[in-house]
């Protein structure tokens, strides 16, 4: 299981055992920022109790993060890499090899994006058919349309957390801290 897999009971939680501290650490990263909180065995009385507190904090943090999870997923898909030379994420100009031996290559603009399931989708616009500017504009529009559809699908499939009814007054400080940390991660 992956560390962030929702079926993993210790997702986003790691154990730290050193000479200086023994704790469970909850860490979440969104929009290039990290929120890390340690739950020490000394503070909570035992290893088991500190793990229980870390799980409550993690669950509350995930519940608040789920409110803007679709926005984060779209941000990750449209983040510009340092190797991008066209200036637009998901749109690029390519040269197709000529079908005639020794002929000139056929330029085209291609828009590509990942759907909600993670499959790569694309549309091609040939420069010979549309012209350079129109082919690029059509590729940009197709990319924007594809991302709008992905965003709508992500909003529909947003993962929600139902808080347990057994959380009492003693957990209010952890729930408040998780809500505060989630707001720090909001764009």
Tell me the three-class secondary structure of the chain, residue by residue.
CCCCCCCCCCCCEEEEECCCCEEEEEEEEECCEEEEEEEEHHHHCCHHHHHHHHHHHHHHHHHHHHHHHHHHHHHHHCCCCCCCCCCCCCEEEEEECCCCCCCCCEEEEEEEEECCCCCEEEEEEEHHHHCHHHHHHHHHHHHHHHHHHHHHHHHHCCCCCCCCCCCCHHHHHHHHHHHHHHHHHCC
pTM: 0.50
pLDDT tens, per residue, the chain with 187 residues: 445 566 778 888 999 999 998 999 998 887 777 788 899 999 889 999 999 889 888 888 877 776 666 666 666 666 666 666 667 778 888 899 888 888 889 999 999 888 877 788 999 999 999 999 999 999 989 988 888 888 777 667 654 434 443 445 555 666 666 665 656 555 5
């Amino acid at each position: 299981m992956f560390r962030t897999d929702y079926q993993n009971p210790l997702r986003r939680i790691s154990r730290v055992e050193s000479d200086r501290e023994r704790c469970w650490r909850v860490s979440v990263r969104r929009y290039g920022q990290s929120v890390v909180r340690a739950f020490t065995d000394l503070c909570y009385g035992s290893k088991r109790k500190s793990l229980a507190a870390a799980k409550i904090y993690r669950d509350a943090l995930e519940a608040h993060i789920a409110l803007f999870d679709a926005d984060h997923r779209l941000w990750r898909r449209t983040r510009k890499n340092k190797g991008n030379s066209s200036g637009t994420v998901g749109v690029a100009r390519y040269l197709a090899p000529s079908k005639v031996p020794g002929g000139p290559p056929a330029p085209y603009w291609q828009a590509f994006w990942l759907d909600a399931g993670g499959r790569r989708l694309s549309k091609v616009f040939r420069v010979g058919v549309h012209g350079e500017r129109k082919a690029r504009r059509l590729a940009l529009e197709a990319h924007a349309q594809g991302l709008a559809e992905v965003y709508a699908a992500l909003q529909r499939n947003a993962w929600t957390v139902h808080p347990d009814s057994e959380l009492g007054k003693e957990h209010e400080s952890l729930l408040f801290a998780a809500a505060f940390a989630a707001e720090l991660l909001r764009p």
